Amino acid sequence: MSTIDKQFYLELGQRIASYRKAVDMTQTQLAEVLGISQKTMAHYKVGRLRISVEMLTNLAKTLGVSVEQLLEDDVPTKATKRGPTSLLERQIEQISQLPRTKQKFVSEMLDTVIQQASG
């Protein structure tokens, strides 16, 4: 893949991630809806894999946008919040990229901590 192609697919992956976040979907949820692995979705996000036209169409439908919107430079924002992403938001994104068993483990740990804090 040429440098120009790599840059295009990286930017496309970032736009897809932004639209996904705008509709409150995790990377894993989007991958499940599309019938692909979370790892493949992660490769799309960082531009390691080319996205087929068919997949691009499915992505657009799932995210409620047009293919043209996915290909344009404008990126949606989830909210009007300013400043960098919080540590918690970054951690949640990282957790969403873990294998399902590790996600479950983290979730169970959080449930335990929340229960202890509440009780």
CATH number at residue 34: 1.10.260.40
Number of domains in the chain: 2
Average pLDDT, the chain: 82
Q: Are residues 56 and 104 in the same domain?
A: no
Q: How far is CA 7 from the centre of its chain?
A: 18
pTM: 0.57
pLDDT tens digit string along 24-54? 889 999 999 999 999 998 888 888 888 888 8
**Domain identity same for 68 and 88:** no
pLDDT of res. 79: 43
On whether the CB atoms of residues 59 and 51 are closer than 8 A, the answer is yes
Three-state DSSP at 73 gives coil
* Residues in the chain, pLDDT under 50: 76, 78-83
Q: What is the CA radius of gyration of the chain?
A: 16
Residue 22 is predicted with a pLDDT of 86
- Say what the pLDDT of residue 52 is: 87
